[in-house]
Protein backbone atom coordinates (compact mmCIF):
# COMPACT_ATOMS: atom_id res chain seq x y z
CA UNK A 1 0.00 0.00 0.00
CA UNK A 2 1.15 3.50 -0.84
CA UNK A 3 1.31 4.75 2.77
CA UNK A 4 2.31 1.52 4.48
CA UNK A 5 0.62 0.39 7.66
CA UNK A 6 -0.83 2.25 10.62
CA UNK A 7 2.00 0.81 12.68
CA UNK A 8 4.57 2.68 10.59
CA UNK A 9 3.03 6.05 11.49
CA UNK A 10 2.12 5.67 15.16
CA UNK A 11 5.34 6.41 16.95
CA UNK A 12 6.71 9.32 14.94
CA UNK A 13 7.39 12.51 16.83
CA UNK A 14 7.78 15.18 14.18
CA UNK A 15 6.51 18.69 13.54
CA UNK A 16 3.36 17.36 11.86
CA UNK A 17 2.16 15.71 15.07
CA UNK A 18 -1.35 17.18 15.34
CA UNK A 19 -2.05 16.70 11.61
CA UNK A 20 -0.79 13.15 11.76
CA UNK A 21 -2.97 12.49 14.83
CA UNK A 22 -6.06 13.70 12.91
CA UNK A 23 -5.18 11.35 10.05
CA UNK A 24 -4.71 8.50 12.50
CA UNK A 25 -8.13 9.18 14.03
CA UNK A 26 -9.68 9.04 10.54
CA UNK A 27 -7.75 5.82 9.87
CA UNK A 28 -9.14 4.28 13.09
CA UNK A 29 -12.68 5.25 12.10
CA UNK A 30 -12.14 3.67 8.68
CA UNK A 31 -10.76 0.48 10.24
CA UNK A 32 -13.77 0.31 12.59
CA UNK A 33 -16.11 0.62 9.61
CA UNK A 34 -14.21 -2.18 7.89
CA UNK A 35 -14.62 -4.43 10.91
CA UNK A 36 -18.31 -3.59 11.11
CA UNK A 37 -18.69 -4.58 7.47
CA UNK A 38 -16.95 -7.90 8.13
CA UNK A 39 -19.23 -8.57 11.10
CA UNK A 40 -22.62 -7.58 9.73
CA UNK A 41 -22.29 -6.37 6.14
CA UNK A 42 -21.73 -9.76 4.53
CA UNK A 43 -23.85 -12.90 4.29
CA UNK A 44 -21.65 -14.79 6.77
CA UNK A 45 -19.84 -12.87 9.49
CA UNK A 46 -16.06 -12.79 9.20
CA UNK A 47 -14.00 -12.87 12.37
CA UNK A 48 -10.52 -11.49 11.65
CA UNK A 49 -8.58 -12.94 14.64
CA UNK A 50 -5.46 -10.79 14.12
CA UNK A 51 -6.38 -7.11 14.31
CA UNK A 52 -3.30 -5.01 15.07
CA UNK A 53 -1.76 -1.81 13.68
CA UNK A 54 0.50 -3.61 11.21
CA UNK A 55 -2.59 -5.24 9.63
CA UNK A 56 -4.27 -1.89 8.95
CA UNK A 57 -2.87 -0.74 5.63
CA UNK A 58 -3.16 2.76 4.17
CA UNK A 59 -3.80 3.51 0.51
CA UNK A 60 -2.58 6.61 -1.35
CA UNK A 61 -5.47 8.65 0.14
CA UNK A 62 -4.76 7.40 3.68
CA UNK A 63 -7.89 5.21 3.64
CA UNK A 64 -7.64 2.22 5.99
CA UNK A 65 -7.73 -1.26 4.50
CA UNK A 66 -7.79 -4.34 6.71
CA UNK A 67 -5.25 -6.95 5.70
CA UNK A 68 -3.93 -10.40 6.54
CA UNK A 69 -6.97 -12.63 6.55
CA UNK A 70 -4.82 -15.72 7.13
CA UNK A 71 -6.53 -16.57 10.41
CA UNK A 72 -10.08 -15.37 9.66
CA UNK A 73 -13.11 -17.53 10.43
CA UNK A 74 -16.63 -17.44 9.04
CA UNK A 75 -19.54 -17.49 11.46
CA UNK A 76 -23.26 -17.37 10.75
CA UNK A 77 -24.67 -13.85 10.77
CA UNK A 78 -27.54 -14.36 13.20
CA UNK A 79 -28.23 -13.70 16.85
CA UNK A 80 -28.03 -17.39 17.75
CA UNK A 81 -24.33 -17.56 16.87
CA UNK A 82 -22.94 -15.10 19.39
CA UNK A 83 -19.75 -17.12 19.88
CA UNK A 84 -18.05 -20.26 18.64
CA UNK A 85 -15.45 -22.49 20.23
CA UNK A 86 -12.14 -22.29 18.43
CA UNK A 87 -9.71 -25.12 19.05
CA UNK A 88 -6.94 -23.49 16.99
CA UNK A 89 -6.41 -20.19 18.79
CA UNK A 90 -4.63 -17.74 16.47
CA UNK A 91 -3.60 -14.14 16.66
CA UNK A 92 -1.05 -11.86 18.24
CA UNK A 93 -0.59 -12.02 22.02
CA UNK A 94 -1.66 -8.84 23.74
CA UNK A 95 -4.31 -8.08 21.14
CA UNK A 96 -6.37 -11.23 21.80
CA UNK A 97 -9.35 -11.08 24.15
CA UNK A 98 -8.82 -12.89 27.47
CA UNK A 99 -11.87 -15.15 26.99
CA UNK A 100 -10.53 -16.21 23.61
CA UNK A 101 -7.13 -17.10 25.04
CA UNK A 102 -8.48 -18.88 28.13
CA UNK A 103 -11.51 -20.69 26.73
CA UNK A 104 -11.25 -20.54 22.94
CA UNK A 105 -14.46 -18.51 22.83
CA UNK A 106 -14.34 -16.64 19.55
CA UNK A 107 -16.89 -13.92 18.90
CA UNK A 108 -17.31 -10.54 17.31
CA UNK A 109 -16.77 -9.14 20.81
CA UNK A 110 -13.31 -10.71 20.88
CA UNK A 111 -12.43 -8.81 17.70
CA UNK A 112 -13.82 -5.60 19.20
CA UNK A 113 -11.52 -6.19 22.19
CA UNK A 114 -8.56 -6.52 19.80
CA UNK A 115 -9.54 -3.30 18.08
CA UNK A 116 -9.83 -1.66 21.50
CA UNK A 117 -6.20 -2.58 22.15
CA UNK A 118 -5.32 -0.99 18.78
CA UNK A 119 -7.11 2.17 19.92
CA UNK A 120 -5.20 2.05 23.21
CA UNK A 121 -1.91 1.81 21.29
CA UNK A 122 -3.01 4.85 19.24
CA UNK A 123 -4.11 6.78 22.34
CA UNK A 124 -0.82 6.17 24.12
CA UNK A 125 1.45 6.19 21.04
CA UNK A 126 3.31 3.32 22.61
CA UNK A 127 4.08 -0.13 21.28
CA UNK A 128 2.52 -3.09 22.97
CA UNK A 129 5.13 -4.85 25.10
CA UNK A 130 4.80 -8.11 26.93
CA UNK A 131 5.82 -9.46 30.29
CA UNK A 132 5.10 -13.14 30.06
CA UNK A 133 1.68 -13.37 28.43
CA UNK A 134 0.47 -10.00 29.76
CA UNK A 135 0.48 -6.88 27.62
CA UNK A 136 2.14 -4.31 29.84
CA UNK A 137 0.54 -1.34 28.06
CA UNK A 138 -2.95 -2.63 28.86
CA UNK A 139 -2.07 -3.14 32.54
CA UNK A 140 -0.23 0.18 32.73
CA UNK A 141 -3.26 1.96 31.28
CA UNK A 142 -5.68 0.23 33.68
CA UNK A 143 -3.50 1.15 36.63
CA UNK A 144 -3.22 4.76 35.39
CA UNK A 145 -7.00 5.03 35.21
CA UNK A 146 -7.29 3.60 38.73
CA UNK A 147 -4.61 5.94 40.09
CA UNK A 148 -5.83 9.04 38.24
CA UNK A 149 -2.56 9.41 36.32
CA UNK A 150 -3.90 8.89 32.81
CA UNK A 151 -2.25 12.12 31.66
CA UNK A 152 1.11 10.38 32.11
CA UNK A 153 0.13 7.58 29.74
CA UNK A 154 -1.58 9.16 26.74
CA UNK A 155 0.18 10.76 23.79
CA UNK A 156 1.22 14.32 24.73
CA UNK A 157 -0.24 15.61 21.43
CA UNK A 158 -3.67 14.42 22.58
CA UNK A 159 -3.69 15.98 26.05
CA UNK A 160 -6.19 18.83 25.94
CA UNK A 161 -7.25 17.93 22.39
CA UNK A 162 -9.46 14.92 23.07
CA UNK A 163 -12.06 14.15 25.66
CA UNK A 164 -11.67 10.75 27.27
CA UNK A 165 -14.73 9.19 28.87
CA UNK A 166 -13.85 6.54 31.41
CA UNK A 167 -16.78 4.56 32.70
Active-site entry in 50, 78, 151, 155? 50
- 151 carries an active-site annotation: no
φ/ψ of 101, rounded to 5, equals: -65, -45
d(CA 61, CA 27): 10
CA angle 151, 109, 42 (to 5 degrees): 125
Residue 84 in 3-state DSSP? strand
126 CB contacts (<8 Å, ≥6 apart)?
11, 137
d(CA 31, CA 63): 9
Residue 57 in 3-state DSSP? strand
Buried b (16+ CB within 10 A) or exposed e, 41-61: eeeebbbbbbbbbebbbbeee
Active site residues: 50
Amino acid sequence: MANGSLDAHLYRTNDNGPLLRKKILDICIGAARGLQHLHVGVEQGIIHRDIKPVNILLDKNWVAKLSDFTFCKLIPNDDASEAILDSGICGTPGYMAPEYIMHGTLSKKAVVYSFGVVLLVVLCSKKLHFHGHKATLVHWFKSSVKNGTIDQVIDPYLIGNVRIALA
